[in-house]
Structure 1
Amino acid sequence: MSDGLGAGVWGLVALAAIAIAGALVLMARRGRGADGGDLLARIYVMVERESAARLAEGEAQRGRLDQLRAETADRLGTMAQSLTRDLAEARLMQGAALREIAEASARQIEAVRATVDERLHEAVERQMQTSFQRVLEQFTAMQKAMGEVSAMTAQIGDLKRLFSNVKTRGGWGEAQLRAILDDVLPAGAYEANRRLREGSSEVVEFAVRMPVKAAVPPLLAIDSKFPTEAYERLLDAVERVDAEAERAARRALETTVKIEARKIASKYIVPPVTVEFAVLYLPTDGLYAEVARIAGLMDEIGRTCRVLVMGPGLLPAMLRTIHLGYVTLALEERTDGIARLLGATRQEMLRMDGVLERLARNASAMSSSIDEARRRTRVVAKQLRGLDGIDPDGVPPVGEDVAGPGETEFNGA
């Protein structure tokens, strides 16, 4: 900064010297005489003085600039020391704040870690308990399923033993047929183990009473058959994909069903005790389906033996038809009863009409008597009103004519 001021002062001095030199040159050109030397001397003196003044002023300015430089340096040193001190204090405060923040963060992180560890521990324990409980439940269910499988295996063995015995197999079919009859027909609509011929020991398993108007309604014989041997051979051949064995098993099943149908026709179709046909019941739908698949078998049995072959899916439909016949018969009986009731009601209405007619005549006579009594009551009331304001000696004796025009005479009758 001082170097710049010094350069400016020296520049001004140079400009002044140049100006004075120019002036001297001009004056030397205009006048060259004695006065000219004095003038030059004076000018030189003025220039010297001016230069000295300029130099003194430059020195003074240089001194002031040096003083200003020293003061500026002192102020800058003071400011640097203050700034350094402030920066050190700020650094200390910042370090303390950072330590506090770090400590607080460490405490929060520790708290979060403890909370996370606790919750994670609880979650793990809960998950382990749930998983263990699920494993126990699955193990219990597996044990139960194994027990059910064992029980099912025992039941299958029982069923095999049941179906291997002809007597027990027939009893099972009879029980199933009884359940269907009980479920569809009304109470008392069938008989079990009914003898159809006099002096015969043959009894049909079930005899259904037909819903007809008769003193002794005819019966429908239903007998259950379960030819499991031929049926099992057929299933085994189908499973082994043995076409020849399958055809032989079907022929055996066809022969067995025909034989059983002929037995039912000869034993249990006894008109007029029974209807003109009977029913051969097969206890399983699978067996019925295999019999129905044999071409022409059911038509031939129905035509030659008058026997209907039915399974668990078809027999209830026929029994519901019979039940509907019972409902129709009951409605007809109720209709006859209602007709008789209406006839009796008509007779009673005619008698009631006569009674009402006599009652009307009596009511008419009673009405005339009531009107006559009312007229006589009015006459008596008028005579009693005439007593007000009349001398007792002037009262006419009872029985005289005191009636006014148009009124009936009161004679005490």
Structure 2
Amino acid sequence: MDGLGAGVWGLVALAVIAIVAALVLLARRGRGADGGDLLARVYVMMERDSAARLADGEAQRTRLDQFRAETADRLGAMAQSLTRDLAEARVRQSEALREMAETSARQLDAIRATVDERLHEAVERQMQTSFQRVLEQFTAMQKAMGEVSAMTAQIGDLKRLFSNVKTRGGWGEAQLRAILDDVLPPGAYEANCRLREGSAEVVEFAVRMPVRATTPPLLAIDSKFPTEAYERLLDAVDRVDAEAERAARRALETTLKIEARKIAAKYIVPPVTVEFAVLYLPTDGLYAEIARIPGLVDEIGRTCRVMIMGPGLLPAMLRTIHLGYVTMALEERTDGIARLLGATRQEMLRMDGVLERLARNASAMSSSIDEARRRTRVVAKQLRGLDGIDPDAAPAMDEGAAERGETEFNGA
């Protein structure tokens, strides 16, 4: 409202200035007796107008004060109402928050109790399961320890057993015999066979080769088990001693070459035997170490004509020999079938001759039957003459009867 009053007073001032300016112009134009009166009237009018304006200003000021008082009262009432509403809203919000907090607390307590109960049950189950598993593992470990102890004792027994050369050779020979019995047919090999007449040397096993001959050649198979050199090699590998490992491999190579030369000198006796022999190693581990030495197997096969085989390779060769026996049996059966077919052909030729003679006899029999029928018709004519029937009166009937009788006879 202060701004409105200032604007009104500005307008009043501008109006006064405009009136004064107009009066000055009029005074300059009409200088005379009437000019003074005119100014006086203007002055009076101006005072009146000023007084009226002052009265209006006072009235406006009064109204403005009243408006300010009313506005202040309204604003006060609004502020009180707003304050009261805010206080009530704050109280309601506090109550709602307190109820929410209490509800959340109750729900959290219920959730905590449920979680604690389930967690307790899960922990108990897990502890029972873990304890049971621990007991089972402990039992299994005790059992395994017992088995390890038993295995250790057995290994010690095996070491003591294999420390004897004869026992070691007997074990290799028994294993080789089991393989031969499992693969070859009965009677396909001989044990402890003497290859030379008058010689005391006998080979452990001699396999008869599947060939057509009066005396089939033999394949000599001898088992060797150089455990000393092999154990030194394994011990050097366990100790990661490269120099000792090389020395053990050289010793094993030397031992094997010596044994191969002995087998070649004793057990390769053509034509009693084939041109080669087999040196059998009882374990695949030993054969793997021999095969790992570069060129050893090829050199022994080339120079000594001795094949080195282990438990994994020997059955394959024996199955090849067994297949040769099967082939021979098939060839013998083929020869028997050929002889049977030849005899059958001869019998068929004889049967053809018999059938030919039977056909000639059948032809002669047919001629005899025709002659007998002809004679029968002649006799029938003569008999009809004796019965008083003219033989010439019914020749057609006789011929028809004869034809019917021939047809019935042929059909019979």
Moved more, 184-193 or 207-216: 207-216
C-alpha distance 19-353 of structure 1, shift in aligned 2 (>3 A): same
Q: Which residue does the alignment assign to 2:244? A: 241
Q: CA RMSD in A?
A: 5.2
Q: Which residue does the alignment assign to 1:91? A: 90
Report deviation, 1:156: 1.6
- Give deviations 1:250-293, integer Å, cap 9, x for gaps: 8788777767876x56xx97x99x54789575443638949995
Distance in structure 2 (CA, Å) of the matches to 1:294 and 1:44: 152
Report deviation, 1:150: 1.7
Which residue, 268, 278, 284 being the options, matches 2:282?
Answer: 284
Listed as ranges, the matches of 1:6-85 within 5 Å are 6-15=5-14, 17-18=16-17, 21=20, 25=24, 30=30, 32-33=32-33, 42-85=41-84
SS of the equivalent of 1:178 reads helix
Q: Which residue does the alignment assign to 1:154? A: 153
SS of the equivalent of 1:241 reads helix
- Give deviations 1:6-56, integer Å, cap 9, x for gaps: 4445445545555555565566552543x6666555545444433333333
C-alpha distance 45-210 of structure 1, shift in aligned 2 (>3 A): closer
Distance in structure 1 (CA, Å) of the matches to 2:35 and 2:248: 169
Report deviation, 1:159: 1.3
The residue identity in structure 2 corresponding to 1:312 is G
Contact 1:176–1:283 under 8 Å retained in 2? no
Q: Which residue does the alignment assign to 1:383? A: none
Q: TM-score, normalised by structure 1?
A: 0.64
Contact 2:230–2:248 under 8 Å retained in 1? no
Distance in structure 1 (CA, Å) of the matches to 2:105 and 2:392: 138
The residue identity in structure 2 corresponding to 1:284 is P
Report deviation, 1:410: 3.9
Distance in structure 2 (CA, Å) of the matches to 1:4 and 1:236: 117
Contact 1:250–1:294 under 8 Å retained in 2? no
Report deviation, 1:337: 0.5
Contact 2:194–2:203 under 8 Å retained in 1? yes
Distance in structure 2 (CA, Å) of the matches to 1:148 and 1:159: 16
C-alpha distance 59-234 of structure 1, shift in aligned 2 (>3 A): closer
Report deviation, 1:181: 0.8
Distance in structure 2 (CA, Å) of the matches to 1:167 and 1:71: 135
Report deviation, 1:164: 2.9
Number of equivalences: 368
C-alpha distance 402-224 of structure 1, shift in aligned 2 (>3 A): same
Distance in structure 1 (CA, Å) of the matches to 2:47 and 2:32: 23
**Alignment of 1:312 onto 2:296:** no
Report deviation, 1:65: 2.0
C-alpha distance 122-399 of structure 1, shift in aligned 2 (>3 A): farther
Contact 1:237–1:246 under 8 Å retained in 2? no
The residue identity in structure 2 corresponding to 1:338 is I
Report deviation, 1:343: 0.8
Distance in structure 2 (CA, Å) of the matches to 1:21 and 1:294: 145
Q: Which residue does the alignment assign to 1:178? A: 177
C-alpha distance 245-113 of structure 1, shift in aligned 2 (>3 A): closer
Q: TM-score, normalised by structure 2?
A: 0.64
SS of the equivalent of 2:73 reads helix
The residue identity in structure 1 corresponding to 2:69 is A
Q: Which residue does the alignment assign to 1:390? A: none
Moved more, 289-298 or 219-228: 289-298
Q: Which residue does the alignment assign to 1:384? A: none
Listed as ranges, the matches of 1:372-411 within 5 Å are 400=394, 409-411=400-402
Distance in structure 1 (CA, Å) of the matches to 2:252 and 2:100: 95
Moved more, 151-160 or 12-21: 12-21
5+ residue gaps, structure 1, are 303-307, 370-396
SS of the equivalent of 2:210 reads coil
The residue identity in structure 1 corresponding to 2:244 is V
Percent sequence identity over aligned pairs: 71
SS of the equivalent of 1:188 reads coil
Contact 2:191–2:206 under 8 Å retained in 1? yes
Q: Which residue does the alignment assign to 2:383? A: none
Contact 1:192–1:207 under 8 Å retained in 2? yes
Q: Which residue does the alignment assign to 2:346? A: 347
- Give deviations 1:145-200, integer Å, cap 9, x for gaps: 43333222212222122223344333312211211211221123234456889999
Contact 2:209–2:219 under 8 Å retained in 1? yes
Distance in structure 2 (CA, Å) of the matches to 1:243 and 1:12: 128
The residue identity in structure 1 corresponding to 2:394 is E
